[in-house]
Chains A and B, each alone.
Chain A
Amino acid sequence: MQHFDPEIVQSLESGLQERFHQRSDFLCKHVVIAGEKFKAYYFRTLVNLPKTLSILNQIGIDRKNDLKWNSIHSMEVDAPVSLNELYNHLLRGKLILLGQEGFVAVIEPEHAELSRPVMSPNSENPLQSAFDAFTEDLDTNIGLIRKKMISDQLVIETRSVGSQSIKKIALVYLKGTTLPEVIESVEKKLEENAHHELTTVRDLTQILGHPKFTLIPTYISSELPEETVQNLLNGKVVILMDQFSFAFAFPAIVSDLWSTTLDVQYPLLFQQFLRTIRGASLLLSVTLPGLYVVLNSVNPELLRIQLAITVAKSREGVPYPSLIEALLVLLLLELIVEATIRLPKNIGPTITMIGGILLGQAIVQAKLVSNLLIIILVASAISNFALTSYMNAVGVRLYKYVVLVVSSIFGIWGLEAALVWVILYFASLTTCTVPYLSWSVKGKTADE
């Protein structure tokens, strides 16, 4: 609550009306609180006015039915200094009260119900862990993490990014566990690019200065607070974006390709087994299509003779060279995958049936492709989805084509070279001062 010159208040009023006159949900209402008249400026869509007024009336009236300024004070946000700040407060869903004698107060009102409650995750299927998932509301998300991790070392920095539209983000890390240079680099980038627009995840990676073209994501996204807590414990910096129900942990390292943080819920032997399986599936999904072409056209001597004869038999009558054949079926597979992802859950199985069974069977019977190829490509696709996250899987899915083309040109040597190349590429990646090929991002420094 501040006292201003009535003239200034007048100019504030006209300024507000001028700025927001085209916004149909911007309202100015005359309200009475404890017998005092006020003008209330707010966004109808963000503020629940009746509820706010009733609360104000409840706490703001003393026995003599007079306005108790102190109580209203408790609901105030902070004193406005300029018109611009008033705009921002309004946009963030605050209520501005203008009194008759030049009082200006910014009130934290009851918000309109716009956020969903905490629910179980939609994109992940945890087996043995907490089942709550992040929601769109930043404060709820921070609260979820706070609740899961009771530690005074947990640092949460809230910042605003953007110039035209302002996005609130929260930088979360565990002091003493996260490497200081990682925190420093993230903070520095956020500071430098504070005016960058932030609406998508890609914007976020650009703000953090990550390379534009990467084969693998430089972050791990997770919908689960449980997983985020594990990421924090592993020394990662987590960034939460307002109105985004995912937490992004930076930086991603190579072991994130085959390990999920939820593995630690299982017995150690099971964890090792699962990770080995995922490692194998990574290798398989990258190499299998390339290997098919290598064995079929460039280096048939690598097959045992028994197998060579059977493979030759299965390709009998196929009109295309093996590279074209493989590309054809791969395209079809990608189409099926893409089509099923966005379909409603009750149509998805139908497409799988049509695509998988009918088309797969028909394409072999029509002798357009060999049935060995179908086996190999389906194995490759399945092993692709055995990887830890969808984002990782896409990168692997993409690199498969590089392997395929190179090995169709250079044979088994090309396949090896492509694998070596991807290792070299990984070795060249450094995000947030951490090389991609490191085993852990945990800080070695002791907790002081």
Chain B
Amino acid sequence: MKSFRVKIIAVIMGMMVLLEGCWDMKDINKAYLPVVMGIGKGSKEKYKIILEIPDAAGKIQFLEKEAKSISKAIDLIRTDSEKSINLVHLRLMLFDRKVVDDGIRDIIDYAVRANDISIKGMIAIVDADFDKTLYHVISPTPEISTYDFFSKEAGWTPNQSLVTIWEAYRSQNSYSEDMAVPLLQNGERTIYAFKGTAVMREDRMVGKLNREETFLYNLFKGNYSGGTIEIAENTSVLIKQSKIKHHRHWSDKGPSLATDITLDVVIAESPSGKSNVQIEKEVRDQLNRNFEMTLKKIKGYRSDVLGIGVMYRPQLTEEQIKNWKSKWFPKLEQKINVRVNVINEILIKDEAHLDQTFIR
């Protein structure tokens, strides 16, 4: 009985080793770890795939192939390269503008379906010469600046939009939300330059937001850390904290949304003699004005990039959710009310006679 048990255990252990599927694991130094994948239109085939592989010395290796599908192209790259290709560290997928015009649904689906691509990776659209942007190398190259460009710990600012693969997948399959994808081009002294934000409806690009509009988009979404608002006459304030409160209403005419945004700001630069109250008022007016224009523009694209539909979802019937983008979103009445609060209020001797400096 005991020997039988030992045999069974031996067999199970043997199977475990042979059948668990890890016998073909490759060590980390036997595989290339690309960080950026460029997906462009091939000259002969449907796709042209460019992989950027950083190494410890700070150089970037480029591998390129054309094929009818992305995985086939990667397979071709793998065939020619001396190491295996492991996509687990892929952090950025760059789409050629021409590819985007055909729709990116299939590519996003592929990225989500592929087991080795992390869905936390970013996507961006190249709104310039695709090859030039991809092969653009600044010297001396920090090994992974392509990744740091979008990293909130490194080079990201609220002027840039940001979308991950999973967010893109969610948005393109959602009834109540659309995505905004950053537009890039090669920089002159930097590796990329941010050109604006592509407003997508489903998987097609329908419009573009510039840098200032992108900032407002981020502010509305709650990504504000370190954002600077510039008002005319060398005055600028830095956002320290923002609170956003949405008030939803649904009447017979359709949805209406009033959003209160309260900003705690510190004054970064201001000409002498300008009071805090004045600055607060200027910031408030400017933001309210810009928000109104941006909202109008977004509504004109008929794309719900701000994700307003999601806020209404709990109140809607399934039928209404399905019709959100076509029927209800165009009817949306949206109002944004910005309140500004300067938190670095200092009483300076010269201004002491101005009552309004510190009375609020």
- Residues of A at the B interface (CB closer than 8 Å) are 295-298, 300-301, 303, 305-306, 308-313, 315-316, 318, 321-322, 408-411
- Residue numbers in A under 8 Å from B22 (CB-CB): 298, 408-411
Q: Give every chain B residue within 8 A of A297 (Cβ-Cβ).
A: 25-28
Choice from A298, A311, A312 contacting B25 with Cβ under 8 Å: A298
Residues 40-55 of chain B, each 1 if its beta carbon lies under 8 Å from chain A, else 0: 0000000000000011
Contact assessment for B56 and A305 in the assembled complex, using a CB-CB cutoff below 8 Å: no
Known: A308-B33, A309-B33. A300 touches B143 (CB 8 A): no
Which of B22, B29, B116, B144 neighbours the largest number of chain A CB atoms within 10 Å of its CB?
B29
Contact of A409 among B20, B26, B91 (CB under 8 A): B20
Contacts of A310 in B (CB 8 A): 56
Residues of chain B lying within 8 A (CB to CB) of residue A306? 143-144
Residue B301 CB within 8 A of the other chain = no
A312-B32 Cα distance, complex, nearest whole Å: 9
Interface residues of B in 14-73 (CB under 8 A from A): 16-17, 20, 22, 25-29, 31, 33, 35, 54-56
Q: Do residues B16 and A409 form an inter-chain contact, with CB atoms below 8 A?
A: yes
Interface of A, helix, strand, loop or mixed by DSSP: helix
Q: Are A309 and B143 in contact (CB under 8 A)?
A: yes
- B91 — which chain A residues lie within 8 A by C-beta? 305
Contacts of B25 in A (CB 8 A): 297-298
B33 and A318 within 8 A (CB): no
Q: Is B89 an interface residue (CB 8 A)?
A: yes
- B118 x A309 contact (CB < 8 A): no
* Inter-subunit contact A312/B56 (CB<8 Å): yes
Given A301-B118, A411-B22, decide whether A309 and B56 contact each other with a Cβ distance below 8 A: yes
- A300 partner, pick from B54, B88, B147, beta carbons under 8 A: B88
By beta carbon, the residue of chain A nearest B116 is A301
Say which residue of A298, A305, A311, A321 sits within 8 Å of B147 (CB atoms): A305
User: Considering only CB atoms, which chain B residue lies closest to A311 in the complex?
Assistant: B28
* A316, B29: Cα distance in complex, Å: 6
Residue in contact with B28 in the complex, picked from A300, A408, A409, A410, CB distance below 8 Å: A300
Within 8 A of A (CB), among B91-135: 91, 116, 118
Instruction: List the interface of chain B (C-beta within 8 A of A).
Output: 16-17, 20, 22, 25-29, 31, 33, 35, 54-56, 86, 88-89, 91, 116, 118, 143-144, 147
Within 8 Å by CB of A315, from B20, B29, B33, B144, lies B29
Residues of A within 8 A of B88 (CB): 300-301
Chain B residues whose CB sits within 8 angstroms of the CB of A316 once the complex forms: 29
Q: Are A410 and B27 in contact (CB under 8 A)?
A: no
| A305 and B144 contacting across the interface, CB-CB below 8 Å | yes
Which residue of A296, A313, A408, A411 is within 8 Å of B56 (Cβ)? A313
- Tell which of A300, A313, A411 touches B86, judged by Cβ atoms closer than 8 Å: A300
Report Cα–Cα, A296/B88, bound state, in Å.
Answer: 13
The answer to whether A301 and B28 have CB atoms under 8 Å apart is no
Asked if A315 and B35 sit within 8 Å, CB to CB, the answer is: no
Of chain B, the residue at the smallest CB distance from A295 is B28
The answer to whether B33 and A313 touch across the interface, beta carbons within 8 angstroms, is no
Q: Are A315 and B16 in contact (CB under 8 A)?
A: no
Q: Which of A305, A318, A410 contacts B89 (CB 8 A)?
A: A305
Q: Beyond A301-B116, A308-B28: 20 further Cβ-contacts under 8 Å? A: A298-B25, A300-B31, A300-B33, A300-B88, A301-B89, A301-B118, A305-B35, A305-B89, A305-B91, A306-B143, A308-B33, A309-B33, A309-B54, A310-B56, A312-B29, A312-B56, A313-B55, A315-B27, A318-B29, A409-B22
- Shortest Cβ gap from A85 to chain B (Å): 44
> Which partner residue on chain A sits nearest B54 by CB separation?
A309
Query: Which of B26, B28, B31, B33 gathers most chain A CB within 10 Å?
Result: B28
Cα–Cα distance between A309 and B143 once the two chains are bound (Å): 9
Asked if A305 meets B28 with Cβ closer than 8 Å, knowing A300-B88, A312-B56, A313-B55, the reply is no
- A17 and B65 CA atoms in complex are apart in Å by 100
In the assembled complex, the Cα of A303 lies from the Cα of B147 at a distance in Å of: 15
For A305, list chain B residues within 8 Å (CB).
Answer: 33, 35, 54, 89, 91, 144, 147
A278 to B27, CA, bound (A): 32
Bound Cα distance A321, B25 (Å): 10
Smallest beta-carbon distance A43→chain B, Å: 47
Provide the bound-state CA to CA distance between A303 and B86, in Å.
13
